[in-house]
Amino acid sequence: MDRNKNKPATKAVHGRGRPKMEVQPVNPPIIQSTNFLYESIGQYKRYLEGDKSVFIYSRYDNPTIMEVEGHVADLENADRALIFSSGMGAISSTIMALVKSGDTILAGDTLYGGTVYFFRDVLPRFGVETIYFDSRNFDGAEKYADSRCRILYIETPANPNLRLTDLKAAVKFAKANGLFTIIDNTFATPINQNPLDYGFDLVIHSGSKYLSGSSDLVCGAVAGSDELAQKIWDYRRLLGTNLDPSASFLLLKGIKSLGVRVERHNQNAMAVAKYFENHPKIEKVHYPGLESHPQHLLAAGQMRGFGGMVNIELKGGQESSENFVDNLKVILNTVSLGGVESIACIPVLTSQYGLSDEALREAGITPSMVRLSIGIEDEDDLVADIEQALDTL
């Protein structure tokens, strides 16, 4: 027998070498490797010359991550997508790649709190300011789009109040004023809405939500043209906001069921929103699928489904919203959204915690507001849970 003559410590590290096999697993192998081997320096040089089939280091690129990037790019009808360690990693790396000192960002006045804090607490240190406006209406917004303004940044439906921005109007406005257009499409998902088809430059996702769908990982994504993706890739490489291969495997597993999950989220959210609409203890329901939503027609025109997020305002202020959430039994009392499980949270205590009273007022966020992420459970059980929690008020 041809025994390996190496000493034990060397055997432990190198074993018998990698077996040569012809395998095509249905699921991608989790290539949990920091670095990649070369058959020769010639092969390494091919990487330097731009050959994308040669890998070097997993902070730059990794085959498991790249496979998921292909899925996200296709879902968003983009040339290329990049996956990040979080939604905030995607947002911060994208913005850093596109702005320079002296620029301004024109942003919709309702955004996820973390994005607002990044714009408020980080960007000004690099000379970048953000101006907020009500993106439900572009009339008069030209006054903000001076020569310093570089980016139009919106969410639609927005977190947490589900206000909409007209995608066509946004692109028309941005093109007329020479702005990049970026949209956080987390709430809608690519199943319900594809902003790149309307001419948006970049779409961002917190992949921690619907894309992964099981509340089991934190990740993010950005999708757009090859040229923009390459610029952002340079920043991801330097800022180190890449995702780990094992987490990328989980993300892909989640993405494969996105279509059926979102269909169910859409149906359940509509049922729950209709129930709230007729309830005497509810002041307002915000759900773009309801005809009573002031932007329902816009939603029907630009979305294929109305999503899983429902926002309510209870009669009786914050005391009512707290009691309601505390009394839910099936719907979980926690933060985040987009998982298979239904979740309720109070935006002034969670995603929008710490924003000024003025910022909350402009965004129409009240203490009696409860944001519900409606999951894929049985619709009857969700409505029954809501009913019994409202009965306790």
Ligand X SMILES: Cc1ncc(COP(=O)(O)O)c(C=O)c1O
In this chain, which residue has its C-beta nearest to ligand X? Answer: 87
CB of 345 to ligand X, least distance (A): 10
Positions in 206-225 near ligand X (CB under 6 A): 206, 208, 218, 220
CB of 393 to ligand X, least distance (A): 27
Residue 186 in contact with ligand X, rule: CB under 6 A: yes
Closer to ligand X by Cβ: residue 247 or 390: 247
Which candidate, 26, 54, 27, places its Cα nearest to that of 40?
54
Distance set, CA 281 to CA 269, 284, 291, 317 (Å):
19, 9, 20, 11
Residue 109 in contact with ligand X, rule: CB under 6 A: no
- Of 1-9, 123-131, 164-172, 179-187, which segment contacts ligand X by CB under 6 A? 179-187
CB of 206 to ligand X, least distance (A): 3
- Of 134-142, 181-189, 240-248, 310-318, which segment contacts ligand X by CB under 6 A? 181-189
CB of 113 to ligand X, least distance (A): 8
Residue 263 backbone phi and psi in degrees, to 5: -55, -45
Phi-psi region of 194 (alpha: psi -120 to 50; beta: other; left: phi over 0): beta
CB of 389 to ligand X, least distance (A): 23
Positions in 112-131 near ligand X (CB under 6 A): 112, 114
CB of 160 to ligand X, least distance (A): 8
- Of 183-191, 270-278, 299-307, 367-375, which segment contacts ligand X by CB under 6 A? 183-191
CB of 222 to ligand X, least distance (A): 11
Closer to ligand X by Cβ: residue 218 or 374: 218
Residue 86 in contact with ligand X, rule: CB under 6 A: yes
CB of 209 to ligand X, least distance (A): 6
Residue 352 in contact with ligand X, rule: CB under 6 A: no
List 184, 201, 313, 385, residue binding ligand X (CB under 6 A): 184
Residues 6+ apart with CB under 8 A from 126: 96, 99, 101
Residue 339 in contact with ligand X, rule: CB under 6 A: no
List 66, 71, 80, 87, residue binding ligand X (CB under 6 A): 87
Residue 324, judged by CB atoms within 10 A of its CB (0-12, 13-18, 19+), counts as buried
Residue 155 in contact with ligand X, rule: CB under 6 A: yes
Distance set, CA 9 to CA 14, 15, 17, 36 (Å):
9, 10, 15, 22
| Site residues, ligand X (CB under 6 A) | 86-88, 112, 114, 155, 159, 184, 186-187, 206, 208, 218, 220, 351
